Amino acid sequence: MRVFKFGGASVNSIERIQHAAAIIREYSAEERLVIIISAMGKTTNALEKVAEAFYAGKKEEALELFGVIKNQHITTAKYLLVKQYNACYAQLNDFFTEVEWLLHDKPVRDYAYYYDQIVCIGELFSTTIVSFYLQEVDINNTWLDVRDIIRTDNNFRNANIQWTETETRVKQAVEDVDNIVLTQGFIGCTDDNESTTLGREGSDYTAAVFANILGAENLTIWKDVEGVMNADPKEFPEAQLLQTLSFNEVIEMAYYGAQVIHPKTIKPLQNKGIPLLVKCFLDTSLPGTVISSQRVKNLPPIMVVKQHQALIHLRTHDFSFVGEQPMSQLYQVFGQLNITPNLVQSGAISLQICLDNNSDKIEQLATAVSNTFDVQVEKDLTLLTIRHYTPQQAEERTADKNIVLVQKTKETTQVLYYN
């Protein structure tokens, strides 16, 4: 058993869907496959605009925006399908009706609920079309609605999986299927049959959940890049492919802001020692990156740049020490406001906290801690993180920068500077 995950960029055109089918055909001859597919291209963004218009009371605008999305998927199905078109359209039409029925209503619940009911449909569209295309080219597969399988709580937009029930449902759904299983990422369902979404990188996470429960040999995430790089090639032209990485290293990279695999995807794989392969969708002959439990030595410097940063200076009102109680209160505020600091540096009577420059969050933070701290803010900063650095590399990268703050450990250096 292997689990494949195809992202939205891998199914965003007729040619790419055909290419995905060729990859699936190549591997399905030898192994059982469970395939998780995201919404096509920018469909999720487009559906978000539908949800926003609906919630703002602009019913006609919401229906019009949704009509554009409908027609795009119908056109894709028409170009791909001949024998299977009518059956595909019938299934798509059920999903069209599901959303349009909601859009004719008036919002009476909070935005997150409607977001999930509308946005979840993108994955159902894409997997329906891909499933029928595979049948069209004689690749037998069984399409499953993942909302019947992944059971979650009702924390809409960032739902938590109920593992015990989900494990039972995954095994029941997959064990009797003797061909390819094709289903959706990113979405789930509550006990009340209300659709939910799993938050950032939800499709990768879904694939990891299936791999964990089924004890898969590995999970392959197909991307339109060569693999995991040691830096963003747009920022660092000399960036190089990392062919092997450990789970812990990837979690560290993600923590510092690298656009790699989300830690919540890693955890289900790490728990069972299931390797993760990041492979190039456009050139399957490339080695890609293997991420596993095995520790990797002698890694090159891994560089992450985060633009649009703000530095919050917190100083106690009465110049008393920043002790256990103020720190405890501060981290409680971080939790309440859903703030993740990118860097924290403490002194005797002051704290410096680097955050993404989100004005609303910064204002909320300043208000929440104003009883304990005086607050000052510096903006227009950039944060450079280098893991596995040498002093020379750090100096070279920041030689011409107006540096505000530096923090170092044995493995990692972080430098905050003005743009």
Mean pLDDT of 95-123: 97
Q: Which domain holds residue 153?
A: 2-224
Domain boundary among 224, 256, 283: 224
Residue 324 has pLDDT above 80, yes or no: no
Residue 314 has pLDDT above 80, yes or no: yes
In a domain, 240, yes or no: no
Residues 200 and 340 in one domain: no
Residue 316 has pLDDT above 90, yes or no: no
In a domain, 233, yes or no: no
In a domain, 280, yes or no: no
Q: How many CB atoms lie within 10 A of CB 407?
A: 16
Domain boundary among 197, 224, 251: 224
CATH number at residue 401: 3.30.2130.10
Residue 200 has pLDDT above 80, yes or no: no
Quote the pLDDT of residue 228: 95
Residue 255 has pLDDT above 80, yes or no: yes
Quote the pLDDT of residue 50: 98
Residues 66 and 165 in one domain: yes
Confidence of residue 395 (pLDDT cuts 50, 70, 90): confident
Q: What is the pLDDT of residues 331-364, one digit of tens each?
A: 899 989 988 899 999 888 889 999 999 999 999 9
How many alpha carbons fall within 13 Å on the CB side of residue 364?
13
Confidence of residue 322 (pLDDT cuts 50, 70, 90): confident
Residue 4 has pLDDT above 90, yes or no: yes
Residues 149 and 36 in one domain: yes
Confidence of residue 72 (pLDDT cuts 50, 70, 90): very high
Residues 206 and 99 in one domain: yes
CATH number at residue 62: 3.40.1160.10
Quote the pLDDT of residue 278: 97
Residues 309 and 218 in one domain: no
In a domain, 264, yes or no: no
Quote the pLDDT of residue 138: 97
- Residue keyed to tokens 């989300």: 262
Residue 259 has pLDDT above 90, yes or no: no
Q: What is the pLDDT of residues 7-33, one digit of tens each?
A: 999 999 999 999 999 999 999 988 899
Mean pLDDT of 310-328: 84
Quote the pLDDT of residue 176: 84
Q: At 172, give phi and psi (nearest 5°).
A: -65, -40
Q: At 274, give phi and psi (nearest 5°).
A: -95, 120
Secondary structure (H, E, C), the chain: CEEEEECHHHHCCHHHHHHHHHHHHHHHCCCCEEEEECCCCCHHHHHHHHHHHHHCCCHHHHHHHHHHHHHHHHHHHHHHCCCCHHHHHHHHHHHHHHHHHHHCCCCCCCHHHHHHHHHCHHHHHHHHHHHHHHHHCCCCEEECCHHHCCEECCCCCCCCECHHHHHHHHHHHHHCCCCEEEEECCEEECCCCCEEECCCCHHHHHHHHHHHHHCCCEEEEEECCCCCECCCCCCCCCCCECCEEEHHHHHHHHHCCCCCCCHHHHHHHHHHCCCEEEEECCCCCCCCEEEECCCCCCCCCEEEEEEEEEEEEEEECCCCCCCHHHHHHHHHHHHHHCCCCCEEEECCCEEEEEEECCHHHHHHHHHHHCCCEEEEEEEEEEEEEEECCCHHHHHHHHCCCCEEEEEECCCEEEEEEEC
In a domain, 291, yes or no: no
Residue 45 has pLDDT above 80, yes or no: yes
Residues 314 and 203 in one domain: no
Confidence of residue 398 (pLDDT cuts 50, 70, 90): confident
Quote the pLDDT of residue 262: 86
Amino acid at 282: L
Residues 216 and 311 in one domain: no
Q: What is the pLDDT of residues 371-380, one digit of tens each?
A: 889 999 999 9
Residues 194 and 339 in one domain: no
Instruction: Give the chain's domain count.
Output: 2
Q: How far apart are CA 164 and CA 71, in angstroms?
A: 39
What is the share, in percent, of the chain residues with pLDDT greater than 90?
83
Which of 151-155, 234-238, 254-258 is predicted most confidently?
151-155
Q: What is the pLDDT of residues 166-197, one digit of tens each?
A: 999 999 999 889 999 999 999 999 999 999 99
Residue 419 has pLDDT above 90, yes or no: no
Domain boundary among 224, 241, 262: 224
Quote the pLDDT of residue 30: 82
In a domain, 342, yes or no: yes
